[in-house]
Structure 1
Amino acid sequence: MAEMGGEMGIEGPFWRAIAVFRIASLAYAAVLLVRAGGYSHPVAAWAVIAVMAVWTAVTVVAYPVVHPAAPPARHGWPLLVADLAVTAGCLLATPLAQTRADALAGTIPVTATWVAGPVLAWGVSRGRRAGAVAAAVMSGADLWLRGVPGADVASIPVNGAVLLFMAGVVVGHVAQLARRAEERMQRAVELEAIGRERERLARGIHDSVLQVLALVQRRGAEIGGEAAELGRLAGEQEAALRALVQAPALRGEGSLDLRELLRPYGTARVTVSAPATPLVLPAETAREVRAAVGAALDNVSRHCPDGTRAWVLVEEDGQTVVVSVRDDGQGIPEGRLEQAEADGRMGVARSIRGRVADLGGTVTITSSETGTEIELTVPLARQGPGSLARQAPGPLERRASGRRKRV
């Protein structure tokens, strides 16, 4: 349960309702006192009413009613405990104003219904369980006050205790639901704002940067020579940037569409193929897979000849996600990966294999003189590192030929 404090938002009406209830209950207790002629000890009774009035004023100011954006310490546990203690004290002070005969006759305590105030406050602040705890404390004090040694427990009225429990649990549960609804609404508003900002930036980029890159690509091809190479690079960046500004990556709270994360890798030399439907993964899993794919493509650009093409294929079978990165380079020489790891170059060992292993998946590298294939297999439901058992060859393994290494 989140601590109280800051802008209360949807909780504000709850606190105002509790304040109104306290004031109305205080007035009701005073009316009962007047009708009863001050009970057996009027001075003590009016003293209790005075304490109740002062504490009601304190709670109206201290709880987020008058100052909904007050610091959290002002409505934290100390105030809640003090509220419960003061209210219980006023309730237990009833014998000072009434006689035992009044209690046995069923006369309502001097506090009347005012005792429900802290129960409601605990429920709104900390949820239904806290409301039930506060109700148990106040009900225990009330039942102790009404009981007498040797009395039949069945003769002790329990209606008030039942009502307190119902109020604490129900109000606490409703407050929790309202708080969650507000959080989801706020999240939806933030996502809408992000979407609008993305659209605004996309329009600006389309009207400026993308047009310039397209112009450079076209004029470079016309001029030829070194300008053609600059034009080709501009075309690659245009494709990557266009995919980026068009990618609504966030699909749900804590989830990402893996397709949208991988599409920006597509360029004139890198082809990205993915399913037509969203492939939603936990955000951490999706980012780690994207980073592993990026590391594989970085190896292609670093270690393969200029002009080497690469293909990224994304597949999903209901239980696992398989992402393969294939290139048409010269392949990985025998023992190259082991030597690189021994020399402290951990690109494949950590950036690819380590990431996928942490997700509970496996990495298969197939290399030949016609190119290299790196297959990343990640379970849709994380089961811990190394827990995924490969039951059948993956799609790339069925196509692969030449030297194979499992890393």
Structure 2
Amino acid sequence: MTRPAEPASDDAATSPLWRAAQAFRLVTLIYAVGQQAASVSYYTNQRLSWVLIALMAVWSGVSAVMLSQWRIHNLRRVRTTVVIGDHVVVVALIFATRLVSDFDWYHGHQTLPTTLWAANAVMSSAILWGPFGGVTSGLLISAAIITAREQWELDIWRDATAPVLVSVGLAIGLAANTARRAQAQLQRAVRLTAAAEERERLAREVHDGVLQVLSYIKRRGTEIGGPTAELAQRAGEQEVALRVLISEQGERSDAGGPEVDLRPLLTAQATPSVLVSTPGEPVPFGRWEAREISAAVAAALANVVQHAGPGAKAYVLLEDTGEELIISVRDDGPGIPSGRLAEAEGQGRMGVSRSIVGRIAAIEGTAHLLFEAAGPDAADDGAEWEFRVPRRR
């Protein structure tokens, strides 16, 4: 039989509750046996009552072993089967009380499986199915006890059986759900920490190796000149692209998480040739959305370096209208000829459509190229991208 090496997240979260519930089951079994010894002299069928108590003890041992283990294949199905069996045994023993005692006894005393032992089924349901399962189980067993004792009269409101069992189911169910949420948050934090550490490790290795080599090729190629100048230019382009790739590494799992200030993500891209202007007040935005905006701006600036020439300057402006964010990226280079982007996309070169337009569209925004050069002889009016991203209410 295949056994998992470690419990799943849900099982790991509730394992302490399952083990504690089985310890409680042992205590309640001892109490039930003591109650049997104290009450057996009042029973009309004492031998049958001891047989039923023996069955209760056997079932308690079997269910405790099955519910407290997690090294079992199809653990969820096994636990569901045991919990359903728990209810069948409890209800059967409750009504079996009428086989071992007369009306006067079972009408005014506890049933054969004491209320305390019957609470085990309620606790198991609450751990497995949450508050709804716990409350439903409490109501079911309470109804069985009241029916078996024939107490459907006004005195039912003086009996604490139903309130106690329902309260136990509700409390344990809430505790189980809280444990599951805490386990999920812990695992998410561990994954994010591991991913961040891995990104930092890769960034260090890339920086120590590939980026330094590309930077060296760019510098030496520029110094040598001639045919190596083009090689130097390509190396510089790849260096910029690789730096952008490293800086934008992130996961969509951050979407919907805490908001971050967008301004530092943009101002971090400022250089002597890139001027970044942001509002004086913080601009909070979703973590993943802010990273996508920053990556789109970085891609636009990379295009400036690649196509506008080394002497071109770029300007990044962030505006927050309250309803949407407006980010402008403008340069003073030769501009982009009209229709050039559509032509490049038709040729299968998807850099702009994916790195800029695609990122902004993914966060339900729009990206427009406001200025295009009229032709190869047009004045150097530059190009300007405008990103508009609505705020989510």
TM-score, normalized by the shorter chain, greater than 0.5:
yes
In 2, Cα distance between the equivalents of 1:19 and 1:219?
Answer: 73
The secondary structure found in structure 2 opposite 1:208 is: helix
- Whether contact under 8 Å (2:203, 2:246) holds in the other structure is yes
- 1:48 pairs with 2:52: yes
The one-letter code matched in structure 1 to 2:63 is T
Cα separation, partners in 2 of 1:279 and 1:252, compared to 1, 3 Å: farther
Query: Counterparts in 2 of 1:361-376, with a 5 A limit?
Result: 361-369=365-373, 370-376=381-387
Distance in 1 separating the partners of 2:275 and 2:121: 60
CA RMSD of superposed structures (Å): 4.3
| Corresponding residue number in structure 1 for 2:376 | none
| Distance verdict in 2 for CA 1:100–1:272, change over 3 Å | farther
- In structure 2, how many angstroms separate the alpha carbons of the residues matched to 1:96 and 1:26? 21
2: CA distance, partners of 1:314 / 1:129: 53
Tell me what 2:167 maps to: 166
Equivalent residue for 2:13? 10
Q: CA deviation at 1:257?
A: 6.6
Which residue in the other structure is 1:211 paired with?
212
With over 3 angstroms needed to count, the CA separation of the structure-2 counterparts of 1:239 and 1:358, relative to structure 1, is: closer
C-alpha change, 1:296 and 1:273, in structure 2 (3 Å) is same
Shift of 1:305: 7.9
Q: One-letter code of the match for 1:373? A: E
Counterpart code for 1:86: V
Show the 5 A alignment for 1:339-378: 359-369=363-373, 370-378=381-389
Q: Which position in structure 1 is the counterpart of 2:132?
A: 129
* Partner Cα separation in structure 2 for residue 49 and residue 312 of structure 1: 83
Corresponding residue for residue 58 of structure 1: 62
Partner AA of 1:381 in structure 2? R
- Alignment correspondent of 2:113: 111
Change (3 A) 1:189 1:358: closer
Report the Cα offset of residue 16 of structure 1: 0.6
1:289 CA displacement: 5.5
Q: Distance in 2 between matches of 1:109 and 1:58?
A: 22
Q: Residue 8 of structure 2: SS of its match in structure 1?
A: coil
Aligned match of 1:20? 23
CA–CA separation in structure 1 for the residues paired with 2:53 and 2:149: 20
Change (3 A) 1:191 1:278: farther
Q: Assess, with a 3 A threshold, how the Cα gap between structure 1 residues 193 and 138 changes in structure 2: closer, same or farther.
A: same
- Percentage identity across paired residues of the two chains: 31
Cα separation, 2, equivalents of 1:301 and 1:84:
72
Q: CA separation in 2, counterparts of 1:143 and 1:157? A: 12
Aligned residues of 1:292 and 1:356 also touching (Cα < 8 A): yes
Secondary structure at 1:37 match in 2 = helix
Cα distance in 1, alignment partners of residues 233 and 272 from structure 2: 10
Report the count of equivalent residues. 368
Q: Residue 281 of structure 1 aligns with which residue? A: 286
Q: Output aligned runs, 1:201-240, within 5 Å.
A: 201-240=202-241
How much has 1:143 moved relative to structure 2? Answer: 1.7
Tell me the distance in 1 between the aligned counterparts of 2:249 and 2:31: 58
Cα distance in 1, alignment partners of residues 271 and 231 from structure 2: 13
Corresponding residue SS for 1:111: coil
Matched, 1:186 2:187: yes
> Does the residue aligned with 2:286 lie in a helix, a strand or coil?
strand
Deviations 1:220-270 (A, max 9, x none): 12211232332233234334434544567469843597969987x979999
Name the structure 1 match of 2:33: 30
Q: CA deviation at 1:286?
A: 5.7
Equivalent residue of 2:40, what SS?
coil
8 Å CA contact retained: 2:139, 2:166 = yes
1:300 and 1:311, CA in 2 relative to 1: closer, same or farther beyond 3 A?
closer
* Contact kept in structure 1, 2:49 and 2:100, CA below 8 Å: yes
Q: Give the CA deviation at 1:33.
A: 0.7
1:323 to 320, 327, 338: 327
Amino acid at match of 2:388: T
Question: Equivalent residue for 1:146?
Answer: 149
SS of the residue aligned with 2:371?
A: strand
Structure 2 residue runs of 5 or longer lacking an equivalent are 1-6, 374-380
SS, match of residue 198 in structure 1:
helix
Of Structure 1 and Structure 2, the greater helix share is in: 2
**Aligned-partner Cα distance in 2 for 1:134–1:274:** 62
Single out whichever of 178-187 and 350-359 deviates more from structure 2. 350-359
Contact between 1:11 and 1:179, CA under 8 Å: does it hold in 2?
yes
Are the equivalent residues in 2 in contact too, given 1:214–1:235 (CA < 8 A)?
Answer: yes
> Is the 8 Å Cα contact of residues 91 and 144 (structure 2) preserved in structure 1?
yes
Change in 2 beyond 3 A, CA 1:314/1:34: farther
Q: TM-score, normalised by structure 1?
A: 0.73
